[in-house]
Amino acid sequence: MILLATLLLDYNLRPRVIMLDKFQWEPVLNALLDRIPNVFIRQGTVHREATIDAIGAVARGLGSHDAFVLFPEGHDFSLRRRITAIDNLRQRGHEELAGKADQMANVLAPRIGGVTAAIAAAPEADVAVCLVGTDRRLDRGPGGPTGPLHRRAVALCNQPPARMMDSGRTRETGGGPMGRFQAPTRPIVSPLERDFLALQRHLLMDKVCGVRELSGQAEFGRLRDLICQSGTDCLRHFGNGYLSEGGLALQQNPDEFAALCLFLKRRGPFSTYLEIGSASGGTGLFLSREIGFDLAMSIDDGEHSRASEQKVNLAGFKEFVGSSHSPEAATFLEATLQGLPLDLAFVDGDHTEEGVWKDIEMLLPFCLPGTLIVVHDTRACAGVEIAWLRATWEGIITPLAEFIGDQKPLGIGVGRVN
pLDDT in tens, the chain (418 residues): 667 777 776 667 788 888 777 777 777 766 666 667 777 777 665 567 788 888 888 888 887 778 888 876 566 777 888 888 888 888 888 888 888 888 887 778 877 778 888 888 888 777 777 665 554 444 444 444 444 444 444 443 333 333 333 333 333 333 333 333 333 333 445 555 566 666 666 666 666 888 999 999 999 999 999 999 999 988 888 888 899 988 888 999 999 999 999 999 999 899 999 999 988 788 999 999 999 999 999 999 887 766 666 565 666 789 999 999 999 999 999 999 999 999 999 999 999 989 999 999 999 999 999 999 999 999 888 889 989 988 988 889 999 999 999 888 999 999 999 9
* Model pLDDT, residue 96: 86
* Residue type (1 letter), 7: L
Question: DSSP string covering 14-42, please?
Answer: EEEEEEEGGGGGSHHHHHHHTTS-EEEEP
DSSP 245: B
* Model pLDDT, residue 58: 86
Say yes or no: domain 203-417 is CATH 3.40.50.150: yes
> 197 with 386: CB under 8 angstroms?
yes
d(CA 36, CA 83): 37
Q: Please, what is the angle between helix 254-267 and helix 282-290, to 10°?
A: 40
* Model pLDDT, residue 85: 83
d(CA 359, CA 400): 19
Query: Which class for 310: exposed (0-12), middle (13-18), buried (19 or more C-beta within 10 A)?
Result: buried
141: left (phi over 0), alpha (psi -120 to 50) or beta: left
* Model pLDDT, residue 377: 94
DSSP 176: S
Q: What are the residue boundaries of the structural domains of the chain, listed by start?
A: 2-167, 203-417
Cβ atoms within 10 Å, residue 55: 23
* Model pLDDT, residue 151: 46
> 39 with 59: CB under 8 angstroms?
no
